[in-house]
Amino acid sequence: MWADPLGALPRTLARKVLRLLSLKDRTRCERVSKLWRSIAMEATRSETKPVWVYVIFRKNHCSGHEKMTVNISFDGPIFWNRQVAYIYCCSCHFEEHEGPLMAILGKFEQRVERMCLVDRPVDYPFLPDSIFSYMAKCMPKLQFIYLRELDLEKINRATVVELANHSTLKKAMLGDFEEEQTGSSPASQSLSQSMSQSISETSDQPDTVTVQVATGP
């Protein structure tokens, strides 16, 4: 009978062993068994370095265009005190990437300080409200949100309030600033007013929240 080497170790020691692996190798370990997956997830979540996440939507049809790629940067002075995760998604197949994307974010959610969605999916300009609600509810250390190129008219007002009430969020850059000069739609203006009102109602919080909202028609 095959003896599970990881299962034979004390739980704390097993976590330390898996923490020595890269995220890629740790993800491979999750496929061995439910126990390995559980310990690997614990190892990832037990890390303390802050994480900056950049979700980048590919537009050029290159090799692996339909795949999602994750690169974690550790080298260089800027990365000594943090991890930076670059998640490359296919711009034309976002609906296929949403599940894996949320699974990756789940590994870092307790440590994410900065969340940047660069550009927008070609065929999916309205990201589901669930993603924004997830950031508000499941990222307790979130300080900065960058969503400048996304259309925000699908965000529920309740989610706007959740983001405004976030205890650590300091700044959110929302909407397409390149289209600001052409005038914003009534829905976008309403969103901006709602966000501003929600922030003013939470002015007793120790941290101030700077929100810039501008979405073209």
**Residue 102: burial class (beta carbons within 10 Å; 0-12, 13-18, 19+):** middle
Beta strands in 74-187 (DSSP E): 83-90, 112-118, 144-147, 171-174
Give strand pairing partners of 58.
90
Most confident of the following: 71-85, 99-113, 141-155: 99-113
Ranges of CATH 1.20.1280.50 domains, the chain? 1-47
In the numeric block, the tokens 């491979």 are attached to 28
Q: Does 186 have pLDDT greater than 70?
A: no
Predicted model pTM: 0.65
% of the chain beyond a pLDDT of 90: 6
Among the four given CATH numbers 3.40.50, 3.10.620, 3.10.350, 1.10.3470, the one describing domain 51-213: 3.40.50
201 in helix, strand or coil? helix
In the numeric block, the tokens 């943090």 are attached to 82
DSSP 20: T
Annotation: CATH topology of 1-47:
Monooxygenase (1.20.1280)
pLDDT the model gives residue 124: 58
111 in helix, strand or coil? coil
**Residue 97: burial class (beta carbons within 10 Å; 0-12, 13-18, 19+):** buried
- Both tokens of 66, joined, read 């339909």
Length of the chain: 217
Ranges of CATH 3.40.50 domains, the chain? 51-213
Arithmetic mean of pLDDT over the chain? 71
Pairing of strands 171-174, 51-58: unpaired
Cβ atoms within 10 A of the Cβ of 60, count? 6
With cut-offs at 50, 70 and 90, classify the pLDDT of residue 205: very low
